[in-house]
């Protein structure tokens, strides 16, 4: 049976980054001269949200409008390379482009092309065909008119109530269709949608979220707060705040798309809105910390042949496919392993540190039986499917591969990563994976572990508190 797709609806842009170096000022004006900029292209707008979901391993259909120009052809190729199925409505006019001139990871200048929206072709039948059988729908509105089309709105209104709709709004766009499971404005957008609510504290954010939820007839509104995480309002209950883990540096470009795509994907998997928002906060924070949209690298030309891997590829097959893609671009493959029962700050710190060692991170995860053999009959506390869902919601994790043995040597022999990273107080001589990695020229490393964080300590603390 084919996995039901996540359908993304919205305006597609072509994003171009020109990365160079600055060593001098221009002789005719006090402006920096950017030498030898290298260009990287990637999908932007709703196409970025669709690409991020596809890179998570999901089946994705993007309903958008592409122009018949050079930029549109490049965007089609990038989407095909990401294995995003496109329902193209046709765009009369040029493809919108967003160009950033960057030096050492920081933007000096942004140029926008085709700022006036073009005319979108008929939407009704194409939208209905794409939405048939959708697991969830994400409307990534970039204010260029596609989400306001009557055919799109009629098709969305006709969806069964069981299909969750996530709406990432734009100040120039329409209100979400009534009944959206989740709307995801950022703090500034929420203030524009509810200008009659004064103030900037959490009370004001909560009041705005409640007001727009009422006006839009939305089941929930999650206001993203940047480094502050997100605030979720559902009905008349108390708001939930999902704090973001602390990060330093990074690039926030694309964080909203990472948040919305993760939330929609988790809702498609059956998560509660609170679980989806919590997972989206973690994924967006990790995405920003690792460099944001600039880290989304795809080949400039599509693959010469379709991917023979079926939509329901096994985790191991997905891992091997991801490794092949990374190595085709000269990247480094990193793996780590563990039980990850009751994911906590120590786990997240280790996973982020491991991902920073290369270009993708595969997590070898002990199965439930394996955890029981290692930890005893009372473990795991969290079943395998839930542990996989939480790990895959982290932006620093590419693929999770379960294994049944006590240690991951068998699966590592198949994956053959360049680096195996383990968090904790180990000597390399104590790691059986170290000798294995050496057989193909790989390297095992030990990463520092946050002191005082462990699942066992959490369990002991719960027992201690319950006994008082």
| Domain identity same for 335 and 227 | no
DSSP annotation of 26 reads -
Q: What is the pLDDT of residue 305?
A: 40
> Is residue 237's pLDDT more than 60?
yes
Q: Examine the domain organization and report whether 410 and 267 are in the same domain.
A: no
Q: For position 402, what pLDDT does the model report?
A: 96
Lookup: tokens for 63: 């309903």
Note whether 291 and 342 are same-domain residues: no
- Residue 262: the pLDDT is 94
Task: Choose the final residue of a domain: 230, 263, 295.
Answer: 295
Q: Coil, strand, or helix at residue 248?
A: coil
264: enclosing H helix or E strand: helix 255-268
- The partner residues of 63 in beta bridges, in order of sequence, read 9, 87
Among 238, 264, 295, the domain-final residue is 295
CATH number for 395: 3.40.50.620
Query: Residue 301 has what pLDDT?
Result: 40
Summarize pLDDT for 5-49 with one digit per residue, the tens. 999 999 999 999 888 889 899 999 888 998 888 888 889 999 999
Task: Indicate whether 382 and 289 sit together in one domain.
Answer: no
Which residues in 289-324 are b (16+ Cβ under 10 Å) and which e? Answer: bbebbbebebeeebeeeeeeeeeebebbebbbbbbe
Nearest-CA neighbor of 151 among 181, 169, 131, 168?
131
Other CB atoms within 10 Å distance of the CB of residue 99: 16
d(C-alpha 309, C-alpha 3), whole Å: 13
Which pLDDT belongs to residue 462?
A: 53
Other beta carbons within 10 Å of 426: 15
pLDDT of residue 344: 80
- Clarify whether residues 128 and 247 are in a common domain: yes
The per-residue pLDDT for range 119-163, each reduced to its tens digit, is 776 666 777 888 888 999 999 999 888 888 888 888 898 899 899
pLDDT tens-digit profile of 310-354?
A: 445 689 988 998 898 888 888 899 999 999 988 887 888 889 889
Confidence of residue 176 (pLDDT cuts 50, 70, 90): very high
> What band does 235 get if pLDDT is binned at 50, 70 and 90?
confident
Residue-level pLDDT at 232: 95
Is 290 in the same domain as 321?
no
Confidence tier at 300 by pLDDT (50, 70, 90): very low
417 in Cβ contact with 441 (< 8 Å) = no
Q: CA gyration radius for the chain? A: 23
Total domains in the chain come to 2
Is 282 in the same domain as 330? Answer: no
Q: Under a CB-based contact definition with an 8 Å cutoff, are residues 183 and 176 in contact? A: yes
Per-residue model confidence (pLDDT) at position 248: 67
Tell whether 247 and 331 lie within a shared domain. Answer: no
Tell whether 283 and 340 lie within a shared domain. no
Please indicate, yes or no, if residue 301 is contained in any of the structural domains: no
Interval 420-458: pLDDT, tens: 998 865 555 567 788 899 999 999 888 876 554 455 555
Whether residue 369 sits in one domain with residue 425: yes
| Assigned domain for 465 exists | no
Q: Please tell me the distance from the alpha carbon of residue 11 to that of residue 127, in angstroms, as a whole number.
A: 14
Say if residue 38 is in the same domain as residue 127. yes
- 23 burial (CB, 10 Å; 0-12 / 13-18 / 19+) is exposed
**CATH code of the domain covering residue 223:** 3.40.1190.20
Q: Is the model's pLDDT at 252 over the cut of 90?
A: no
Write the pLDDT tens digit of every residue in 263-280. 999 999 999 999 999 999
**How many CB atoms lie under 10 A from the CB of residue 450?**
14
**Residues 76-122: tens digit of each pLDDT:** 999 998 899 999 888 888 999 999 998 887 888 989 887 777 777 66
Q: Among 266, 165, 270, which residue's Cα sits nearest to residue 221?
A: 165
Q: Would residue 420 count as lying in a domain?
A: yes
**Domain range for 238:** 6-295
CA dihedral 232, 271, 128, 44 (to 10 degrees): 60
Please give the positions annotated as active site.
257
CA distance 202 to 225: 10
**Cα–Cα dist 113/111, whole Å:** 7
Does the residue 466 lie in any domain?
A: no
Say yes or no: 280 and 388 in one domain.
no
At 263 the pLDDT is: 94
Encoded tokens for 241? 């705040």
Tokens of 369: 């039986």
**pLDDT for the residue numbered 394:** 86
């Amino acid at each position: 049976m084919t996995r039901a797709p996540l359908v993304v609806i919205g305006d597609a842009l072509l994003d171009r980054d020109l990365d160079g170096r600055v060593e001098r000022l221009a002789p005719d004006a006090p402006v920096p001269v950017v030498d030898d900029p290298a260009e990287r292209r990637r999908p932007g707008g709703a196409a970025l949200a669709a690409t991020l979901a596809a890179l998570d391993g999901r089946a994705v259909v993007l309903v958008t409008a592409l122009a018949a120009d050079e930029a549109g052809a490049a965007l089609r190729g990038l989407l095909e390379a990401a294995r995003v199925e496109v329902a193209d409505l046709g765009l009369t006019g040029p493809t919108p482009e967003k160009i950033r001139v960057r030096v050492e990871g920081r933007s000096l200048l942004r140029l926008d092309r085709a700022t006036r929206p073009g005319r979108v072709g008929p939407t009704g039948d194409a939208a209905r065909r794409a939405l048939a059988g959708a697991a969830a729908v994400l409307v990534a509105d970039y204010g260029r008119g596609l989400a306001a089309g009557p055919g799109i709105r009629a098709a969305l209104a006709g969806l069964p109530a069981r299909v969750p709709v996530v709406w990432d709004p734009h100040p120039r766009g329409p209100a979400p269709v009534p009944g959206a499971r989740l709307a995801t404005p950022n703090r500034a957008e929420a203030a524009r949608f509810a200008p009659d609510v004064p103030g900037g504290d959490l009370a004001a954010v909560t009041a705005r979220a409640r007001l727009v939820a009422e006006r839009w007839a939305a089941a929930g509104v999650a206001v993203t707060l940047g480094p502050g995480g997100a605030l979720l309002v559902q009905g008349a209950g108390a708001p939930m705040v999902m704090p973001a883990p602390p990060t330093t540096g990074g690039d926030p470009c694309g964080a909203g798309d990472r948040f919305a795509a993760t939330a929609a994907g988790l809702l498609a998997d059956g998560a509660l809105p609170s679980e989806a928002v919590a997972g989206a906060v973690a994924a967006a924070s990790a995405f920003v910390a690792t460099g944001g949209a600039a880290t989304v690298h795809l080949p400039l030309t599509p693959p010469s042949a379709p991917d023979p891997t079926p939509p329901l590829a096994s985790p191991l097959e997905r891992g091997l496919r991801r490794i092949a893609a990374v190595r085709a671009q000269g990247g480094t493959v990193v793996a780590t392993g563990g039980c990850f029962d009751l994911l906590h700050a120590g786990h997240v710190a280790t996973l982020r540190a491991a991902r920073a060692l290369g270009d993708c991170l595969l997590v070898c995860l002990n199965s439930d039986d394996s955890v029981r053999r290692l930890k005893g009959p009372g473990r795991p506390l969290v079943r395998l499917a839930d542990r996989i869902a939480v790990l895959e919601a982290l932006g620093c994790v590419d693929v999770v591969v379960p294994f049944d043995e006590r240690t991951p040597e068998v699966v590592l022999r198949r994956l053959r990563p360049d680096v195996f990273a383990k968090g904790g107080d180990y000597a390399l001589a104590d790691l059986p994976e170290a000798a294995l990695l050496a057989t193909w020229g790989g390297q095992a490393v030990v990463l520092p572990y946050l002191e005082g964080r462990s699942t066992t300590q959490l369990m002991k603390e719960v027992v201690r508190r319950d006994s008082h």
